[in-house]
Structure 1
Amino acid sequence: MLSTLTSIILWAIFGAIMGWWLGPATGFACLAFGLLIMVLVSGAHVSRIQKWTRNLNDPPPPSIGPWDAILAPVYRQLRRDRQEILDLNRHVDGIMMAAEALPDGAITLNAEMELQWCNQTACEHIGLNLATDRHHSIFNILRAPEFSRYARQLRWDGPLLLHINRDGLEKSLLLQLTPYGLGQFLIVTRDVTQVEKLETTRKDFVANVSHELRTPLTVLLGFLETLQDMPAESLPLEQRQRYEAMMLEQTRHMQSIVADLLTLSTLESSPTVEGETVQVSNLIQSALKQGEAISGGQHTFVTNLDPGLAIQGMETELSSAVSNLITNAIRYTPKDGTITVSWYVLDNGDACYSVQDTGIGIAPQDIPRLTERFYRVDKGRSRSTGGTGLGLAITKHIVMRHNAELQIQSRLGVGSLFTLRFPKSRVRILDN
């Protein structure tokens, strides 16, 4: 503004000088001419400024007279604002990336409980599709009566445990609804399916241990109370000895259960080691001798063993797995049945230990659960033969620690085939 006023004063002085020299008309003409030039220059400046306003990201045009002092701070402020916006956008992008990386699901709702945004985890948990579900009511998307009752409360002091079925799979979700901002809501979802399964397994395990120990303890308690209440001379020696033998049998059964539980605990807690070269055929021969003693000549044993085939592993663990399969075959094979034990190498280099019997067989629905602790297909028969219900669970852990695989094939009334398949990386060929 000061430069414009200065220009007018200078043109006025120039006009006055020209008027004094050449006459008043000439002076006024010079002043008018100067003012016209100023207007034209100012118009050109305004045109250049107008053109610049179409793209404010570019620097303002240079040499625009009095406008330089006005546009320079405006442009500097625009640059600062743009930088702040870029920083805010990067910050928001970082927050969104962090939200997407959360292991829990996050869902934002407006005051009408309509979906505004959700992360990928929430999509997996509930089956949301942000492209199609945005601005739709969460009650139309998550159709569960218990969730509807929960979400329509005035306060949410705790989470909701919701069981949903997606693609044929049962899933347990923990949902927490929280208000935030102005009339907005946040839902946090957490998949607790595995936690629930572990808790169920823990409860089942405690119940099964209690059940397994209750029977022998009841027998022991009954005999001890009988012996305590009866005078020593009133009980025949033969009957006393029979009671004592039965108590000893039940005590040994409990001891076996405790020993197997300790073995399982050790297998689960101890680190996996490479071990040493184990000649598995020797372990099988030892297990067969024990098995023949248990069988008492009631079964026929057929063997097909490769003495030059060994495994890199823990001998004590492998011995337990080998023995468990043979013992199970004996327990579930009727008299005069045949048990075939094989130890051989496959064409691809894997080694297999298999035990095939002509026993009672296993129903298809029971096969997936055979390695569960205390799971028995025929509980009465297993207990009568001294089984603890932990043999296959122990075998499964041993197999996993040796990078091997337990394969089970069975048909009811025909028999079963249990195979331990060891990977080529653990197979060793011995020199004969």
Structure 2
Amino acid sequence: MLSTLSSIGLWALTASLIGWWLGPAAGLGVLAFGLLLMVLVSGLHISRIARWVGNLEQPPPPSVGPWDNILSPIYRQLRRDRQELIELDRQVSAIMMAAEALPDGAITLNADMELQWCNRTACEHLGLNLATDRHQRIFNILRDPSLVAYAKQSSWDAPLIMHINRDGLSKTVQLQLTPYGLGQYLLVTRDITQVEKLETTRKDFVANVSHELRTPLTVLLGFLETLRDIPAESISLEQRLRYEEMMLEQTQHMQAIVADLLTLSTLESTPTIEGEPVNISNLIHSALNQGQALSGGQHQFIQDIDPNLGIVGIESELGSAISNLLTNAIRYTPKDGTITVSWQSSANGDAYYTVQDTGIGVAPQDIPRLTERFYRADKGRSRSTGGTGLGLAITKHIMMRHNAELQIQSRLGAGSRFSLRFPASRVRAMPCSS
């Protein structure tokens, strides 16, 4: 503004001098020319500024007269605002990426409980599709009365547990609603299917342990009460010895259950170690000697054992797994049945310990559950064989600790084939035993 007034004053002074020298008409002409020239230059500056306003990303035009002092601070502020916007966009993007990476689902709802945004985890938990479900009420999407009742509460101190069946799969999801901002809500989802399964397994385990111990305890209590209540002379020595023998059997059964439970607890709580090379053929021959004694000559045993094939592992654990499979085959194979034991390597370098029998076999629906603790496919027959119901659970844990796998093939009434597959990385060549 000051420069414009200075320019006008300079032209007026020039016009006054020329008017004094050449006359008033010449002075007025010079003044009019000067003012016209200033208007034309100002128009040129304004047109350049107008072009710049159309693209504020570019620096302002240079040399626009009095506008220079106005445009420069405006441009500097625009640059600062642009940098702040870029930084804000970067922070928002980082926040959105973090929200997408959350292991829990996150859903934002407006005051009408309409879905505004959700991350991928929430889509997986609840089957949402942000493209089609945005601005839809969450009640219309999920259609669960328990969710409606939960959302109508005045506060949400406890989460809601929902059981969702979708695409043939059952899932348990925990939902927690939290208000934030002004009339906004955050719905956090968490998949607790595995947690619920573990809790069910824990409850079943406690119930099964109680049930397994109750039977021998009931037998013991019955015999002890009988021996206490009847006169000594009313029972023969032969009956007393039979009662004592049966009590001893039940006590040994309880002792076996407790020992297997302690073994399982040890396997689950102790860290896995690499171990050292173990001569598996020696362990198999030892298990066969014990198995033949248990069989009492009622079964035929076929052996195919490579004496030079060893495994890096823990000898006591491997011996337990080997013995468990052989003992099961003997218990569940009728008299005159055949049990085939093999220990060989495959073409890809893996090693297989296999026990195949001609026993009673297992129904297809029972095979996936055989390694569960205390699970018995045939409860009546299983109890009569004297097993604890924990042998295969122990074997599975031992295999997991050795990066190995328990494989089960069976057909009801046609026998079973149990195999321990050890990866080639654990296989070692052993010197021939003399």
TM-score interval, normalised by the smaller of the two chains: over 0.9
- Distance in 1, matches of 2:72 and 2:276, equals 81
Equivalence for 1:29 = 29
- What is the TM-score when the length of structure 1 is the normalising length? 0.96
Equivalence for 2:385 = 385
Q: Percent identity?
A: 76
Letter of the 2:151 partner, please give it. A
1:421 Cα deviation after fit: 1.4
SS at structure 2 position matched to 1:103 = coil
Equivalence for 1:405 = 405
Equivalence for 2:127 = 127
Equivalence for 2:357 = 357
Letter of the 1:236 partner, please give it. S
- Distance in 1, matches of 2:382 and 2:253, equals 12
Equivalence for 2:374 = 374
SS at structure 2 position matched to 1:208 = helix
Equivalence for 1:339 = 339
Equivalence for 1:282 = 282
SS at structure 2 position matched to 1:310 = strand
SS at structure 2 position matched to 1:66 = helix
Equivalence for 2:258 = 258
Which stretch of the first structure deviates more once superposed, 362-371 or 146-155? 146-155
**Equivalences, count:** 432
1:226-237 correspondence to structure 2 within 5 Å: 226-237=226-237
Question: Are 2:269 and 1:269 equivalent residues in the alignment?
Answer: yes
Equivalence for 1:420 = 420
1:236 Cα deviation after fit: 2.6
Segments of structure 2 that go 5 or more residues without pairing to the other structure are none
Equivalence for 1:242 = 242
Letter of the 2:146 partner, please give it. E
Residues 204-244 of structure 1: CA distance to partner in whole angstroms, max 9, x if unpaired? 11111111111111111222222233344443322222222
- Distance in 2, matches of 1:202 and 1:134, equals 40
- Distance in 1, matches of 2:197 and 2:242, equals 44
Equivalence for 1:56 = 56
Residues 63-118 of structure 1: CA distance to partner in whole angstroms, max 9, x if unpaired? 11111122122122212211221222122112111111111000112222222111
1:34 Cα deviation after fit: 0.8
Letter of the 2:200 partner, please give it. T
Which stretch of the first structure deviates more once superposed, 272-281 or 49-58? 272-281
Which stretch of the first structure deviates more once superposed, 151-160 or 395-404? 151-160
1:3-14 correspondence to structure 2 within 5 Å: 3-14=3-14
Which stretch of the first structure deviates more once superposed, 390-399 or 103-112? 103-112
Letter of the 2:75 partner, please give it. Y
Equivalence for 1:179 = 179
Letter of the 1:220 partner, please give it. L
Letter of the 1:235 partner, please give it. I
1:289-308 correspondence to structure 2 within 5 Å: 289-308=289-308
- Distance in 1, matches of 2:423 and 2:66, equals 86
Letter of the 2:103 partner, please give it. P
SS at structure 2 position matched to 1:365 = helix
Letter of the 1:230 partner, please give it. I
Equivalence for 2:143 = 143
Equivalence for 1:212 = 212
Which stretch of the first structure deviates more once superposed, 150-159 or 103-112? 150-159
- Distance in 1, matches of 2:360 and 2:236, equals 41
Residues 174-214 of structure 1: CA distance to partner in whole angstroms, max 9, x if unpaired? 01122222222211100111110111111111111111111
